[in-house]
Amino acid sequence: MSARILVVDDVEANVRLLEAKLTLEYYDVITCHDGVSGIALAASEQPDLILLDVMMPGVDGFEACRRIKAAADTRHIPVVLVTALDGRHDRIKGLEAGADDFLSKPLDDVILMARVKSLTRLKMVMDELREREESGRRVGVDTGGVARLKGSGGRVLIVDDNTLQADLMAQELSLEHRPMVERSTETGLEAARGAVDLVIVNVTSESFDGLRLIAQLRSKEPTRRLPILALVDTQDRPRLLKALELGAHDILTRPIDPEELGARVRTQVRRKRYGDFLRQKLDHNLEMAVTDPLTGLHNRRYMNGQLDALVARANRGGDPVALLVLDIDHFKSVNDSFGHDAGDEVLREFSVRLATNVRAVDLPCRFGGEEFVVVMPGTTLEDAHRIAERIRRDVGASPFRILGGEPLGITVSVGVAATMGGDDTPASLLKRADEGVYEAKNSGRNRVVARAA
């Protein structure tokens, strides 16, 4: 898996060394030598990862990281701070600035590449979600709210058989989050299926295999997207690398520093909420793409896809499918006499009456204007005719009450068709139902006409 990596360092030798190492692993490398240029390149080039030196003149790495994470178009890019500094204060300062990790020089090449691979893999998942979310933005679907996402108040699951260590982590995290502790793989997996924002796994546990737990969390659908923070001993490189390989999002080394724990947990909780936000927006965008915004019914696009599949199944010997085409009588006169707002209210009320008079398995849709369609799986022509009559009677039985105006008497003309053999198509079914509507209109309106093949 290749990726584009931006290297920012004011020392030319450091830049060339990192560029050589990354290029050898087939990464595409972009370089610059100061924080301002790094911020600009992050926005223009949209790399998959930024390796950012801390000690630079002018805008240092901490400030550059803060600006990158504050900007809407770059906040999703993982940032690894790379520096000769190794103090606790600097490490926590980097994490608080929004960095995804903090690596000290001289770099351990194996750990560096493991972190690069882990973070770029995560970035690519986020990119796919962001691309779909951007599609919704282009068609006018609101996608605001990212800036309000916080890293506090998370539901954090700690899976650790070291009672003292687990309780100390829970106590520390309880100041900002809602931690809970489990002592085994079985209870940990069960708890992770609930409303959890982050799982902390002690991979050095004695009574269970923490690495296997990470693998199980990654392999099961309900927990596959959960962020995982792996707790390892400082010198235990094999477990550290294996945890990253299996899909841990971040590493926390023992002995545990409370401030570092808090900083890493906040980062992961914020990232989880960002991913959830994008997925919710994606679901909303998909729903908007197949829903008529005025009536709340499905739209013509969705109807076409469902009807195609149902007719094809009927032609292969499956259950028949029936179709109702409904056209509100004299709807133009409603708009002309009372205005389009009144017309919209009529359409909304008609949609409610239509939806409440069909079965749960049926698919009522707005076809366009004042025309509606109901797709009825497993329904014969006679049964569809009976349901159409029920809809017609309910629409005309009581007037439509329009806000600020007199009640309006509304009626509907309905055409009915159903598959009758092995050579029907969605187009032919719609045509027969349309012909039924025209006949109903020409016969005085407010009636149902069924058309056999």
Task: Establish if 139 belongs to a structural domain.
Answer: no
Instruction: Select from 231, 253, 282 the last residue of a domain.
Output: 282
Residue 181's pLDDT band (cuts 50, 70, 90):
very high
Instruction: Select from 222, 247, 282 the last residue of a domain.
Output: 282
> Which stretch of 17-31, 325-339, 344-358, 392-406 has the lowest confidence by average pLDDT?
392-406
Q: Could you tell me if 314 and 442 lie in one domain?
A: yes
On the question of pLDDT at 184 being above 70, the answer is: yes
Q: Could you tell me if 273 and 320 lie in one domain?
A: no
Task: Establish if 344 belongs to a structural domain.
Answer: yes
SS3 154: coil
Residue 138's pLDDT band (cuts 50, 70, 90):
very low
CA distance 299 to 57: 58
Q: Could you tell me if 306 and 410 lie in one domain?
A: yes
**CATH classification at residue 439:** 3.30.70.270
Task: Establish if 196 belongs to a structural domain.
Answer: yes
Q: Could you tell me if 257 and 326 lie in one domain?
A: no
Q: Could you tell me if 304 and 446 lie in one domain?
A: yes
Q: What is the mean predicted confidence (pLDDT) over 96-118?
A: 87
pLDDT digits (tens, 9 = 90+) for 112-125: 898 888 888 878 77
Q: What is the mean predicted confidence (pLDDT) over 304-310?
A: 89
Q: Could you tell me if 225 and 161 lie in one domain?
A: yes
Q: Could you tell me if 186 and 105 lie in one domain?
A: no
Task: Establish if 183 belongs to a structural domain.
Answer: yes
On the question of pLDDT at 265 being above 70, the answer is: yes
Task: Give the pTM.
Answer: 0.61
CB of 331 closer than 8 Å to CB of 350 = no
Neighbours of 438 (CB within 10 A): 14
> What is residue 142's predicted lDDT score, i.e. its pLDDT?
45
To the nearest whole percent, how much of the chain has pLDDT over 70?
90
On the question of pLDDT at 129 being above 70, the answer is: no
Q: Could you tell me if 339 and 257 lie in one domain?
A: no
> What is residue 143's predicted lDDT score, i.e. its pLDDT?
46
Q: Could you tell me if 173 and 205 lie in one domain?
A: yes
Task: Establish if 50 belongs to a structural domain.
Answer: yes
Task: Establish if 292 belongs to a structural domain.
Answer: no
Instruction: Select from 282, 311, 332 the last residue of a domain.
Output: 282
CB of 205 closer than 8 Å to CB of 173 = no
Task: Establish if 6 belongs to a structural domain.
Answer: yes
**Whose CA is closest to 4, among 51, 53, 74?**
51
Order across the sheet with 228-233: list the strands.
Answer: 178-182, 155-159, 198-202, 228-233, 250-254
Amino acid at position 11, single letter? V
**CATH classification at residue 78:** 3.40.50.2300
Task: Establish if 440 belongs to a structural domain.
Answer: yes
CA distance 274 to 93: 22
Domain count of the fold of the chain: 3
pLDDT digits (tens, 9 = 90+) for 14-35: 999 999 999 999 999 999 999 9
Highest mean pLDDT among 101-115, 219-233, 395-409, 419-433: 219-233
CA distance 397 to 375: 24
> What is residue 136's predicted lDDT score, i.e. its pLDDT?
47
CA distance 406 to 232: 73
Which residues 6+ apart lie within 8 Å of 60 measured at CB?
35, 54
Structure tokens at 326: 């409904």
For residue 207, the enclosing domain spans 149-282
> What is residue 363's predicted lDDT score, i.e. its pLDDT?
92
CA distance 38 to 7: 8
Residue 76's pLDDT band (cuts 50, 70, 90):
confident
Q: Could you tell me if 304 and 276 lie in one domain?
A: no
On the question of pLDDT at 139 being above 60, the answer is: no
Tell me which residues are annotated as active site.
370
Mean pLDDT of the chain: 88
Q: Could you tell me if 161 and 192 lie in one domain?
A: yes
Structure tokens at 283: 């679901």
**Whose CA is closest to 324, among 345, 297, 349, 346?**
297
Q: Could you tell me if 162 and 261 lie in one domain?
A: yes
